């Protein structure tokens, strides 16, 4: 019996030794795994569970799924699978209502649909201050932004933001406005020369319909520091200049509006009217805000129904068209633009090669890969088929107050 007890005791001691050895090996393995995870941030390769993630190169590959409370990498990377953030830098809310009314909400929708959480992107507005935008960009990068979507206030300050970002290996997408002489990675916008051509032809059509011979035309250009304003002017001047040169039309004045400021536009246009002794038969206004400033001055002078152009298909612009105070606007499908830019930004954040970028745009120093969308002219005849059909605008937001009387019958019936 004593021998049996000693044998059992010996067996128990051996078993305990084996268990202790196994525990030590498991801890060593865990320690080794932690160290490997830290190294992969620098060397680029990390294997966790069934997914493989390449950090430095930005490439992600995964094989598993998310079920219930267990989360592993998915077959198609989403916002939760990547590190870093996206920062959208908007310019202001005074030059056009689109930036806060449209672009912000569409970016939020796009990022949400792409699977990004609210802490993986930020949308900032510089409210017209270039130094503020520079500070916002710097802080966004400090906070982890790896992709910037930039709407510059001017190319000089924009180029400085791009240079700083690129020095920190942060990708930059010029959104809506091209930054001249910069190292931006991509450009997403509309064909802005075409925008101007639509405005020019729109004014021609409206003047022709009004039956005015030798019309006296005033031109309100956008901001001289905005490259888009230059492109718009290139487009509408290609339509209007031959008419001025032939003597069929007369250009009474042509002025740019600093910072697209609508209040300054009102002052400038009032001065135009005074100098022309109120003899203005049509206005080429580069966007709806400038157009509304001209309309206000014309009405104050007792001039109603003068053809005025616009751009952005704002609620105000559509209301003025319905009331007969503005003859056309240019609809740029901002939802499509924002979604295209967001998709491009998410691809860059995930280290993927963007698809569908087939154009290039010369920014003065390099050819920037570009995704350019097509604008559409909007008149009273096609509001329903364009901005309403696309759910860019609703009759409910247009047909309010005094403008309800101008809306189509049944527009508010739902």
**Rounded percentage of the chain residues whose pLDDT exceeds 90:** 77
Provide the token pair at 204.
Answer: 């021609």
Note the pLDDT tens digit of each residue in 287-312: 999 999 999 999 999 999 999 999 99
pLDDT score, position 82: 66
CB 120 within 8 A of CB 111: yes
Residues in the chain: 414
Helices and strands in the chain: count of H runs, count of E runs? 12, 15
| pLDDT confidence tier of residue 410, bands split at 50, 70 and 90 | confident
Q: How far apart are CA 39 and CA 41, in angstroms?
A: 5
CB 307 within 8 A of CB 320: no
Note the pLDDT tens digit of each residue in 223-248: 999 999 999 999 999 999 999 999 99
pLDDT score, position 299: 97
Q: Which residues contact 76 (CB under 8 A, 6 or more apart)?
A: none
**Rounded percentage of the chain residues whose pLDDT exceeds 70:** 80
Q: Which residues of 330-365 are buried (b: 16+ CB within 10 A; e: fewer)?
A: bbbbbbebbbbbbbbbbbbbbbeebeebeeebebee
Kindly list the structural domains of the chain, giving each domain's residue range(s) and its CATH number in brackets, ordered by start: 80-190+334-373 (3.40.50.2300), 192-332+376-406 (3.40.50.2300)
**Is 365's pLDDT higher than 90?**
yes
CA distances from 383 to 42, 320, 374 (A): 55, 12, 17
């Amino acid at each position: 019996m004593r021998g049996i007890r000693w044998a059992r005791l010996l067996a128990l001691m051996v078993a305990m030794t084996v268990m202790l050895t196994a525990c030590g090996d498991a801890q060593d393995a865990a320690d080794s795994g932690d160290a490997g995870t830290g190294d992969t941030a620098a060397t680029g390769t990390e294997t966790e569970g069934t997914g493989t993630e390449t950090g430095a190169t930005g490439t992600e590959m995964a094989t598993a799924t998310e079920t219930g409370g267990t989360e592993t990498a998915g077959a198609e990377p989403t916002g939760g699978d990547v590190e870093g953030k996206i920062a959208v830098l908007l310019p202001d809310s005074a030059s056009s209502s689109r930036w806060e009314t449209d672009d912000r909400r569409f970016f939020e929708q796009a990022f949400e649909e792409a699977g990004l959480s609210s802490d993986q992107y930020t949308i900032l507005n510089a409210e017209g201050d270039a130094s503020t935008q520079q500070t916002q960009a710097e802080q966004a990068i400090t906070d982890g932004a790896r992709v910037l979507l930039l709407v510059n206030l001017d190319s000089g300050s924009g180029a400085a933001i791009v240079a700083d970002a690129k020095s920190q290996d942060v990708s930059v997408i010029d959104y809506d406005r091209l930054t001249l002489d910069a190292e931006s990675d991509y450009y997403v916008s509309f064909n802005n020369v075409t925008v101007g051509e639509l405005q020019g032809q729109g004014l021609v059509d409206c003047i022709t319909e009004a039956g005015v011979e030798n019309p006296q035309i005033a031109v309100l250009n956008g901001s001289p520091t905005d490259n888009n304003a230059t492109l718009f002017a290139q487009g509408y001047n290609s339509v209007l200049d031959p008419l001025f040169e032939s003597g069929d039309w007369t250009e009474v004045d042509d002025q740019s509006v600093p910072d697209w400021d609508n209040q300054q536009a009102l002052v400038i246009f009032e001065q135009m009217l005074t100098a022309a002794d109120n003899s203005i038969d049509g206005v080429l206004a580069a966007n709806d805000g400038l157009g509304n400033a001209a309309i206000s001055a014309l009405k104050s002078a007792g001039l109603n129904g003068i053809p005025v152009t616009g751009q952005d298909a704002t609620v105000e612009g559509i209301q003025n068209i319905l009331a007969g105070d503005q003859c056309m606007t240019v609809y740029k499908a901002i939802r499509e633009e924002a979604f295209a830019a967001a998709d491009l930004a998410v691809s860059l954040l995930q280290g993927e090669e963007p698809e569908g970028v087939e154009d290039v745009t010369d920014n003065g120093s390099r050819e920037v890969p570009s995704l350019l969308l097509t604008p559409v002219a909007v008149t009273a005849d096609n509001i329903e088929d364009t901005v309403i059909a696309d759910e860019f605008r609703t009759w409910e937001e247009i047909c309010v107050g005094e403008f309800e009387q101008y809306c189509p019958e049944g527009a508010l019936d739902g």
